[in-house]
Amino acid sequence: LIAALIVAAGLFAERLIKRATQPLRRQILERARLGRLRFLGRVLSNLFLNLMGFAAYVLTTYIIAALMYGPDNPANNVIGYVILPSYYIKFLILVANFGLSPKTPAIRLFPVQDEDAGFLYRWTILLTVTGIVIASVAHAFRSAGIREQDFQLLYGISGLAVMFVLVIMLWQSRKRVARAIWPGSAAGETSPGSIHEKFAKSWHYFAIAYVVIIGIYWFVNALSGRGAILELILTLFLVPLFIGIDQWVQKLLKIATGELPEVIDLSGDALVQSDEEAPVRDKEEIKDLVPLITKLFRVLLAILFFFAVQKLWGLDLPIARLFSRTV
C-alpha cells in the first residue's frame, strides 16, 4: 500500500510538470511546419518536456522512498520491487510515445497512420507491462525466500506471457500488415505467382514462428538462470524497429526521385527550391539506382539484425566474427 502511494505521489508530480509545460507543448504543436530541421526541433523539444515529467516522477518516488526506508530496512526490498519496475515501464512508455506519438501525428517519427500508431502504442505498453510486472513479482517472491527453482519457473512465465500477448497482437494485425505488404489485397486484386502477394497472406505465420522460437529459447535460459526480461522484449521489438528504418529509407528514396514531392528546408528562413525546379536528369539517374540501393540496404539491415540478436543473447559465434571482418 505504501509503495502504491509513493508511485501515486510520483505520478502527481509528473502531472504537475505536464500541466506547467502545457503552454509550451501547445506552442510547439501549433508552430508552422517548415522543413525537416524545424520538424526535428519540434520532436526534440517535445521529448525534452516529456523527459522533465519522467525526471519528476523518478526523483519524487526515489526521495520519498529514501526518506521513509533506509538501506538496512527489510521493507526497502519490497518498495524497490514496485518502484524500480515502474521506472522501466515509464521509460518504455516514453520511448513508445517518442516514436509513435499516437495523439500528436504532427511530431510522429514513424510514418504510420493514426489508427496503426494507436494500435502499436497500446500493444507495446501491454507487452512491456506484462513482462516487467510478472518478472518483478518473481523477484519479490525470491527476496521473500522461495526456492531458486520456483523463482526461475515464475520468472520464465513472464517471458511466456510476453510471447503469448505478442502472438495475439500479430494475429490481430495480420490484415493491416498484409495491406501494407501488398496494397492490392485491400481492393481484392490478385497477381498469380507474385511473391509479395504470397508473403502478404502468410507473413504472420513466419512472425509467430519467430516469436515462439525466441520465447521458448528464452524460457529455457530462464530456467537455468540466464534469462533477462528486457533482453526478450528488445529482441522481439527488433523486427518492427528494423521495418520502421526500412520504411524511412524508402520514403527518403521517393523524395530523392521525385515520386514523393517534399520541401526540405535546411535554413528555416531562406527560400527553398521547389520540386518542379529540381534537376530532372539527376532524379532520373537516382531512380535507376533505387532498386540496387534498396537491395543493398536491406541486406545490410539483415546483417545488422543478426548481429543485434547475437549481442542481446550474449552469443559468440566464430563465423560471425569472421564474417564481420570480411565485410
Q: What is the pLDDT of residues 218-227, one digit of tens each?
A: 788 788 777 6
For residue range 8-56, list pLDDT tens digits in order: 999 999 999 999 999 888 888 776 565 677 778 888 888 999 999 999 9
Average confidence (pLDDT) over 47-66: 93
Which pLDDT belongs to residue 30?
75
Whole-angstrom distance, CA of residue 152 vs CA of residue 102: 36
What string of DSSP letters covers 262-277?
----SSSSS----TTT
Highest mean pLDDT among 4-8, 67-71, 139-143, 249-253: 4-8
Which pLDDT belongs to residue 193?
61
Computed from CA positions of residues 64, 69, 72, 75, in that sequence, does the dihedral angle turn out positive or negative?
negative
Among the listed ranges 79-83, 125-129, 272-276, which one has the minimum average pLDDT value?
A: 272-276
Region of 147 on the Ramachandran plot (φ > 0 left; ψ -120 to 50 alpha; else beta): beta
Task: Give the percent of the chain with pLDDT over 90.
Answer: 13
- Cβ atoms of residues 107 and 39 within 8 Å: yes
Which pLDDT belongs to residue 227?
63
Average confidence (pLDDT) over 192-218: 80
Half-sphere exposure of 290 (CA within 13 A, CB side): 18
Which pLDDT belongs to residue 13?
95
Report the mean per-residue pLDDT for the chain.
79
Average confidence (pLDDT) over 281-300: 77
Which cell numbers hold the place of 150?
A: 520456483
Which pLDDT belongs to residue 64?
93
Which pLDDT belongs to residue 223?
83
Highest mean pLDDT among 8-22, 76-90, 232-246: 8-22
- Say if residue 272's pLDDT is above 50: no
- Say if residue 7's pLDDT is above 90: yes
Average confidence (pLDDT) over 135-139: 87
pLDDT band of residue 260 (cuts 50, 70, 90) is low
Which carries the bigger pLDDT value, residue 75 or residue 66?
Answer: 66
Average confidence (pLDDT) over 253-274: 55
- Say if residue 316's pLDDT is above 90: no
Which pLDDT belongs to residue 71?
74
Among the listed ranges 71-80, 116-125, 268-277, which one has the minimum average pLDDT value?
A: 268-277
> For the chain, percent helix, then strand, then coil, each to nearest 5?
80, 0, 20
pTM of this prediction? 0.70
Whole-angstrom distance, CA of residue 219 vs CA of residue 231: 12
pLDDT band of residue 116 (cuts 50, 70, 90) is confident
Which carries the bigger pLDDT value, residue 210 or residue 83?
Answer: 83
Which carries the bigger pLDDT value, residue 281 or residue 114?
Answer: 114
